[in-house]
Amino acid sequence: MLLDTENRLADTDGPEVMIRKLRNRLDKRDTKVKEWNSLYEGDRPLKYASPEFSEQTGGLFDDFSDNWCKTVPDTLRERLAVVDFEGEDGQPNAEAMKAWKRTKADVEVGLAILDALVTSRSHALVWNPDGQSDITFVPAGQAIVDYVPGTRGVRRAGLYVWCDGSDEFATLFVRATPGARAQVYRRQRTMGGGEWRDRTTGLRTSEQVDLVNPMGEVPLVELANRARLHGKPESEIAQVAPLQDGVNTLWAHLFTGADFAALPQRVVLGMDRPTKDIIDPETGDIIDVEDIPLGQYSKDRLLWLSKASATIAQFTAADLDAYLKVIAQCVRHIAAQTRTPPQYLLGEMANIASDALEAAESGLVAKAMDKQLHFGADLREVMRLEALAAGDPARAASLAMGRVVWRDAQFRSVAQYADALTKYKAIGVPDEALWRMIPGIRPEQVAEWIRLRDEQAAAAATAAAQAFSSFGPKDDTGQGDGQPAEGEAA
């Protein structure tokens, strides 16, 4: 199996051919990426509206969206906060956290995870441009990872692309193969197409067009959402989109109904359809008659009666509750299918007991913990590469076998946490472990608490020693109790 993987690693094309192939694959993904981004931003035209309805309302609802495609991934991302990285020994890795904060990855990882939830994937690029490790998160439309055929996690190559308005730039990372070292290729071409050529602009004087990758591996990691064994990563809003389209159309019909049918409507009976004469401009004769569109009267709120026999009837006001019931049912379907708590979507929070609220969020919590498992494996690989980029292979090996520490996916009150920690304390869980369970507590705070506790214990021991030393040893000469010492006269 190892020999077979090495052979597939070696079966690679030249850099220009590989850049072209990966760029074409990236272009194919671009349509879906734009669609998911548009849905998240609420930029979605009415899909189920009839042509007659669209003609009547024009562009009135172009900018309207009751956007649940934003709420669903945002609600999940709030439960995915990285707290710390632990090595193989189960201890927090201070160097990893320093690099994590120095590169601002502690802030941007939330954006990367959100992009992965929305567009199905994002990427992390690890490099050492100035001799110091760097972590950069890249959106789905600017990077792609190529895996060894038949494997799910062995990266064969990675492509990172961007543009400056006139030229398109590409950096290709190729993994080391039997008999060849890992390489980095930098190319560029004119925007809109053309052949890739050696990069001549946008480089610093210290950079080279082609160079050996000192890390020996592809430094581009894919953060994939909901990857299946035989399928592609999937967006969290894929199943929300059809219901979102229905909700938007129902709201449009409701608003239109509120405008035209929510009030009693008058009806004209016994009158011919209004018409106007068509006159020949040269002779002034009437050459034809055309009907006046009745819709214009409705828009202008104009009533014109030309016959004395015409009568007026009235329709009762329409009941719009039917629309609201269907919309609410669609939102409940969104909540059930995405395991988003109903109170997040419907706002029904009145008189909910804490146990009931916890039960309502159980699906979201389980879903978040599953995401922590999969995203955690990707972020663990990112930090392993960061250690390699920093020239610390021992730390890289430890982080590869360690774990990512996430904030508790279950939101609890302070009283609930205090009660749980007290019970853990009663069964002998050490203080350090309990402190790390408190949400929002950073590793450096735990280290400071440990220092303060040790200092307090040392000060207490010193004070106790000083207190006992004031009594001194027992006087066995007898002088202390007024009795003469041995050998002395009374």
405 found inside a domain: no
Residue 58 domain-assigned (yes or no): yes
**Domain's final residue, options 302, 322, 339:** 339
Same domain, 229 and 253: no
Q: Are residues 21 and 113 both part of a single domain?
A: yes
Number of domains in the chain: 3
Q: Is residue 214 part of a domain?
A: yes
Whether residue 174 lies inside any domain: the answer is yes
3-state secondary structure of 246: helix
- Do residue 11 and residue 126 come from a single domain? yes
Nearest to 161 by CA among 181, 183, 177, 185: 185
Could you give the angle at which helices 94-102 and 105-119 cross, rounded to 10 degrees? 80
- Ranked by mean pLDDT, the top range of 122-131, 313-322, 372-381 is 372-381
Range of the domain at 438: 413-467
Task: Say if residue 72's pLDDT is above 80.
Answer: yes
Decide if pLDDT at 195 tops 70: yes
Distance separating alpha carbons of residues 278 and 284, to the nearest angstrom: 9
The DSSP call for residue 383 is H
Considering the domain architecture, whether residues 153 and 38 belong to the same structural domain is answered as yes
- Please identify which residue in the block is written with the tokens 């214009």: 296
Least confident range of 143-152, 205-214, 441-450, 467-476:
467-476
Same domain, 265 and 195: no
Poorest-pLDDT segment among 255-259, 267-271, 378-382: 267-271
The DSSP result for 8-62, as a single string, is HHH----HHHHHHHHHHHHHHHHHHHHHHHHHHHT----SS--HHHHHHHTTTTT
Residues 313-331 have a mean pLDDT of 80
176 and 322 both lie in a single domain: no
What is the Cα 312 distance to its own chain's centre?
Answer: 58
Kindly report which listed range (264-273, 328-337, 454-463) carries the lowest average pLDDT score: 264-273
370 in the same domain as 322: no
Is residue 473 domain-resident? no
Same domain membership, residue 332 and residue 192 = no
184 and 38: one domain?
A: yes
Q: Are residues 181 and 306 in the same domain?
A: no
Query: What CA–CA distances, in Å, run from 129 to 122, 379, 467?
Result: 21, 21, 60
Query: Does the global pTM surpass 0.75?
Result: yes
